[in-house]
């Protein structure tokens, strides 16, 4: 076995690999760019080597620098993680030349499967069912249109070297093919340094299901069940689970065997994933093979009990797989949420900055339930504009799908992040979504269920009761404590009415509260007439200043995030985010007399939706614009965002120019 390995990656995956290496008694070497000087993976590693400036193309993507770092540190092998160099054939070749082991498949297998065009050819040869498409190289947009016409619409345009949704477009018409082809190609070039593209038929209402497999250098390959990753937003996976609610034993076996056949055909000898697109009728077509560890590998680890990284290291060192296919048994259900630095309330625009607060839920296993959080960040760390905006992967495992989802839901409620915007409210809302819970998924799920984007919802029913009760309990505790202040007048202690009115945004709930600071608090819901109905008993160790109220409500674990605002708190629970104010009856009556103020009208301004760099301002002062016209391009997180006019109008003033670095909500231009 290796004594020391280098991890040619950063963020959560570098930390993930190091955890296993450490468990195996292998020393670890991290590499880092200027932007990652204080990153968690650097902190975790036994040693760390600096490899250049922040842009990946000048650091994490430079093969020579990684090889040099191996030589300098004496690392015998390299784990590439995912992304970066993980699927570059040249990388293992260069390592081999330097006498260093690549913890991944052999270069030939990467060449055969890593390239999406080549892999389709190989799959067809291995009799794996494939989607109709064009496997040659495409010269230009006109060529792309011709091919798309032949296949029939809709089609999907993809970067050959791509992954993670970058350089990918769906086109429903000739015009869209022409447009999409150019922009995809530009994105592909920028992201992967490779602008080869391909086009294939787009399957309507599809599901994304993939088979995890692992092979050794002795010709053994087993599959480790499937993962379903149908919950995607703009082709970026958001939630993954294993197993898939769609598959039956028969389909699982058929898919697994086809995947293994394909892997065998190319002499595959590490962990890899064969992705399929599946119809609702359980038909499936080969999509591509990823010759690396996938982001979502933890869900497979949870249901199989296999440490995929450990096995990758072992097979790379020449060991045989310890099991046969018949040894692989799936146990329970696992769900993973990807926590991204993006603003769900502003069409998921990227958000960067300092993690002022970062409090993940407690990890651990008990009674067949597990919470696992794979992360590469820490409180006080920085989400930088240079790399992937993923903050963490929250994984839960339980005996059933419902149990895993419930646990995920509660873990998300307890996951507290401040300083940047993040998608936890969206994920938490998703966990409650009836269609998600029913398992009737497709890759269009998010676009179909959230056509107008994401917004908080008004609490009702059980959620209203829980939030009212928690708000009332917090207020009760605060009042009780304020009564303990010194310098009070002698005599009768201050009285506080037990009847309270909880105002959650526009919703009001009358309650009756009793109980002491230490003991449980009893909150009775009151109807209009003042008569009591449901009684909730709450017990918690929450104290003012704690970011999350965690405790039992009617003996069920509940977590509610608590952010102080003037005279109240903002509460977040199951994707609901609401200001909460608790009044006495008199206060509520007087508060009701207060005028409702309209928010300032910002429709005359084009605001910068995220911190970023202005690439271009397309209009000049005095220009007439039509709704939908491109006004400016702002680049953030390596993505170009085109800002369009929401309605017709005339540009009055332009405040920004190309090259400006803007903060979120900076005024780019004003309309007349």
Partner 1 sequence: MKDVIQELERRRDEARLGGGQARIDAQHKRGKLTARERIELLMDDGSFEEFDTFVEHRCAEFGMEKQKVPGDGVVTGWGTINGRVVYVFAKDFTVFGGSLSQAHAQKIMKIQDMALKNRAPIMGLFDAGGARIQEGVDALGGYGEVFLRNVLSSGVIPQISVIMGPCAGGDVYSPAMTDFIFMVKDTSYMFVTGPDVVKTVTNETVTAEELGGARVHTTKSSIADRAYENDVEALLQMRRLMDFLPSNNMDGVPELPTHDRADRVDHSLDTLIPDNPNKPYDIKELIGKVVDEADFFEIQDTFAKNIVTGFARMEGRTVGIVANQPMVLAGVLDSDASRKAARFVRFCDCFDIPIVTFVDVPGFLPGTAQEYGGLIKHGAKLLFAYAEATVPKVTVITRKAYGGAYDVMSSKHIRGDVNYAWPTAEIAVMGAKGAAEILYRSDLADPEKIKLRIDEYQKRFANPFVAAERGYIDEVILPSGTRQRICRALNMLRNKTLENPWKKHDNIPL
The C-alpha atoms of residue 425 and residue 501 are separated, in whole angstroms, by 26
CB 670 within 8 A of CB 619: no
Dihedral, CA atoms, 171, 172, 174, 180, nearest 10 degrees? -20
The interface region with partner 1, picked from 155-163, 199-207, 290-298, 478-486 by CB under 8 A, is 478-486
With CA atoms as reference, report the closest residue to 425 among 400, 402, 388, 450. 450
Shortest CB 84 distance to partner 1, Å: 24
One residue of 23, 435, 481, 653 binding partner 1 per CB under 8 A: 481
What is the token pair recorded at 420? 């940047």
Which of 380, 516, 532, 622 touches partner 1 (CB under 8 A)? 380
User: Closer CB to partner 1, residue 38 or residue 514?
Assistant: 38
Cβ proximity to partner 1: between 531 and 593 the closer is 593
| 57 touches partner 1 by CB under 8 A | no
Tell me: does residue 519 bind partner 1 (CB under 8 A): no
Q: Pattern 308-347, binding to partner 1, x per CB under 8 A? A: ----------------------------------------
Q: Considering beta carbons, is residue 151 or 507 the nearer one to partner 1?
A: 507
| Chosen residue from 435, 482, 604, 653 binding partner 1 by CB under 8 A | 482
Query: Near partner 1 by CB under 8 A, which window of 267-275, 446-454, 475-483, 649-657?
Result: 475-483
Rounded Cα–Cα distance for residues 92 and 110 (Å): 9
Q: What binding mask, one character per residue, do residues 161-200 give for partner 1 by CB under 8 A, x or -?
A: ----------------------------------------
Give the residue, chosen from 487, 506, 529, 533, that forms a contact with partner 1 under the rule CB under 8 A.
487
Among 142, 497, 630, 658, binds partner 1 (CB under 8 A): 497
Closest distance of CB 669 from partner 1, Å: 25
User: Minimal CA–CA distance to 163: which of 125, 210, 131?
Assistant: 210
Binding track over 527-566 against partner 1, x by CB under 8 A: ----------------xxx------------------x-x
Nearer to partner 1 by C-beta: 205 or 567?
567
Q: How far apart are CA 258 and CA 223, in angstroms?
A: 10
Q: Can you give the three-state secondary structure of 462-529, one letter per residue?
A: HHHHHHHHHHHHHHHHHHHHHCCCCCCCCCCCCCCCCEEEEEECCEEEEEEEECCCCCCEEEEEECCC
* Among the residue ranges 86-94, 127-135, 158-166, 485-493, the one whose residues contact partner 1 (CB under 8 A): 485-493
Out of 590, 602, 630, 658, the residue judged to bind partner 1 by CB under 8 A: 590
Q: Contacts with partner 1 in 195-224 (CB under 8 A)?
A: none
594 in contact with partner 1 (CB under 8 A)? yes
**Closest to 523 in 3D by CA, of 511, 533, 532:** 511
288 catalytic? Reply is: yes
Exactly one of 205, 283, 567, 661 binds partner 1 (CB under 8 A); which one? 567
In the complex, least distance from residue 381 CB atom to partner 1, rounded to whole angstroms: 7
CA-only gyration radius of the chain, Å: 27
Which listed residue (326, 438, 486, 533) binds partner 1 by CB under 8 A?
A: 486
Closest C-alpha to 635, from 656, 662, 655:
662
Tell me how far apart the alpha carbons of residues 587 and 569 are, in angstroms, rounded to a whole number: 17
Contacts of residue 514, Cβ cutoff 8 Å, sequence gap at least 6: 498, 521, 522
DSSP state of 83: S
Q: How many residues of this chain bind partner 1 (CB under 8 A)?
A: 41
In degrees and rounded to multiples of 5, residue 412 shows phi and psi of: -65, -40
The verdict on 121 binding partner 1 (CB under 8 A) reads: no
143: CB partners within 8 A, 6+ apart: none
Identified binder of partner 1 from the candidate list 3, 23, 37, 320, rule CB under 8 A: 37
**Calpha distance 211→69 (Å, rounded):** 34
Of the candidate residues 531, 593, 600, 620, the single one contacting partner 1 (CB under 8 A): 593
Only one of the segments 119-127, 155-163, 227-235, 579-587 lies at the binding site for partner 1 (rule: CB under 8 A); that segment is 579-587
For 620, the 3-state DSSP assignment is: coil
| Nearest of 206, 203, 187 to residue 195 by alpha carbon | 187
For position 498 contacting partner 1 by CB under 8 A, the verdict is no
Which C-beta is closer to partner 1: that of 366 or that of 485? 485
Smallest gap, in angstroms, from Cβ of residue 627 to partner 1? 33
Q: Which of 288, 296, 342, 410 is catalytic?
A: 288
Region label for 451, one of left (φ > 0), alpha (ψ between -120 and 50) or beta (otherwise): alpha
Considering beta carbons, is residue 589 or 627 the nearer one to partner 1? 589
C-alpha distance from residue 653 to each of 205, 566, 627 (Å): 45, 36, 18
Q: Which of 434, 461, 493, 519 contacts partner 1 by CB under 8 A?
A: 493
Cβ proximity to partner 1: between 139 and 486 the closer is: 486
Phi, psi angles (nearest 5°) of residue 263:
-65, -40
Q: How far is CA 150 from CA 14, 180, 199, 201, 611, in A?
A: 44, 17, 11, 10, 42
Task: Encode 373-396: b = buried (16+ Cβ within 10 Å), e = exposed.
Answer: bbbbbeeebbbbbbbbbbbbbbbb
For residue 81, what are its two tokens? 């993680």
Active site residues: 288
Residues that bind partner 1 (CB under 8 A): 37-38, 354-358, 378-382, 481-489, 493-497, 543-545, 564, 566-567, 584, 586-587, 590-591, 593-595, 597
């Amino acid at each position: 076995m290796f004594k020391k390995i280098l991890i040619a990656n950063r963020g959560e995956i570098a930390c993930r690999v190091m955890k296993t290496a450490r468990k195996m008694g292998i020393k670890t070497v991290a590499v880092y760019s200027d932007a990652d000087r204080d990153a968690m993976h650097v902190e975790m590693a036994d040693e760390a080597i600096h490899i250049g400036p922040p842009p990946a193309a000048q650091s994490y993507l430079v093969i020579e620098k990684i090889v040099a770092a191996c030589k300098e540190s004496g690392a015998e092998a390299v784990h590439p993680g995912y992304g970066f160099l993980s699927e570059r054939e040249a990388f293992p070749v260069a390592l081999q030349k330097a006498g260093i082991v690549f913890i991944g498949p052999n270069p030939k297998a990467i060449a055969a499967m890593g390239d999406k065009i080549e892999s389709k050819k190989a799959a067809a040869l291995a009799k794996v069912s494939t989607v109709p498409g064009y496997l040659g190289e495409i010269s230009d947009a006109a060529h792309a249109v011709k091919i798309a016409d032949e296949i029939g619409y809709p089609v999907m345009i993809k970067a050959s070297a791509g992954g993670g949704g970058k350089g990918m477009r769906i086109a429903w018409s000739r015009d869209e093919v022409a447009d999409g082809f150019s922009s995809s190609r530009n994105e592909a070039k920028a992201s992967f340094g490779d602008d080869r593209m391909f086009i294939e038929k787009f399957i309507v209402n599809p599901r994304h299901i993939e088979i995890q497999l692992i092979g050794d250098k002795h010709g053994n390959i087993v599959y480790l069940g499937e993962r379903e990753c149908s919950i995607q937003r703009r082709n970026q996976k958001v939630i993954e689970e294993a197993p898939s609610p769609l598959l039956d034993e028969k389909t699982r076996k058929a898919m697994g065997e086809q995947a293994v056949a394909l892997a065998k055909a190319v002499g595959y000898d590490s962990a890899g994933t064969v992705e399929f697109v599946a119809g609702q009728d359980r038909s499936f077509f080969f999509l591509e093979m990823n010759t690396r560890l996938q982001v979502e590998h933890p869900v497979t680890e949870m249901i199989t009990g296999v440490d995929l990284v450990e096995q990758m290291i072992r097979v790379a060192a020449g060991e045989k797989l310890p099991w046969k296919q018949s040894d692989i048994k799936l146990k329970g259900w696992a769900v993973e949420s990807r926590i991204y630095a993006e603003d769900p309330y502003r069409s998921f625009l990227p958000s960067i900055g300092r993690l002022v607060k970062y409090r993940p839920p407690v990890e651990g296993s008990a009674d067949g339930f597990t919470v696992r959080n794979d992360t590469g960040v820490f409180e006080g760390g920085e989400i930088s504009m240079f790399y992937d905006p993923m903050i963490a992967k929250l994984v839960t495992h339980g005996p059933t799908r419902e149990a895993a989802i419930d646990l995920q839901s509660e873990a998300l409620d307890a996951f507290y992040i401040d300083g940047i915007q993040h998608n936890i409210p969206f994920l938490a809302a998703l966990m409650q979504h009836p269609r998600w819970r029913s398992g009737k998924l497709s890759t269009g799920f998010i676009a179909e269920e959230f056509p107008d984007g994401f917004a908080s919802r008004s609490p009702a029913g059980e959620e209203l009761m829980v939030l009212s009760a928690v708000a009332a309990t917090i207020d009760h505790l605060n009042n009780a404590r304020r009564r303990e202040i010194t310098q009070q007048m002698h005599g009768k202690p201050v009285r506080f009415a037990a009847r309270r009115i909880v105002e959650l945004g526009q919703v009001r709930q009358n309650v009756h509260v009793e109980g002491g600071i230490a003991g449980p608090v009893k909150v009775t819901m009151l109807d209009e007439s003042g008569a009591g109905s449901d009684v909730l008993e709450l017990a918690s160790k929450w104290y003012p200043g704690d970011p999350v109220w965690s405790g039992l409500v009617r003996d069920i674990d509940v977590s509610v995030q608590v952010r102080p605002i003037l005279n109240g708190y903002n509460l977040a629970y199951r994707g609901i985010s609401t200001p909460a104010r608790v009044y006495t009856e008199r206060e509520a009556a007087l508060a009701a007399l207060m005028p409702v103020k309209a928010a300032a009208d910002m429709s005359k301004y084009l605001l910068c939706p995220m911190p970023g760099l202005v690439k271009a301002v397309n209009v000049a002062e005095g220009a007439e614009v039509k709704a939908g016209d491109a006004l400016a391009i702002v680049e953030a997180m390596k993505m170009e965002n085109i800002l369009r006019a929401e309605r017709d109008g005339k540009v009055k003033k332009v405040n920004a120019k190309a090259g400006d670095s803007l903060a979120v909500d900076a005024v780019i231009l004003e309309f007349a």
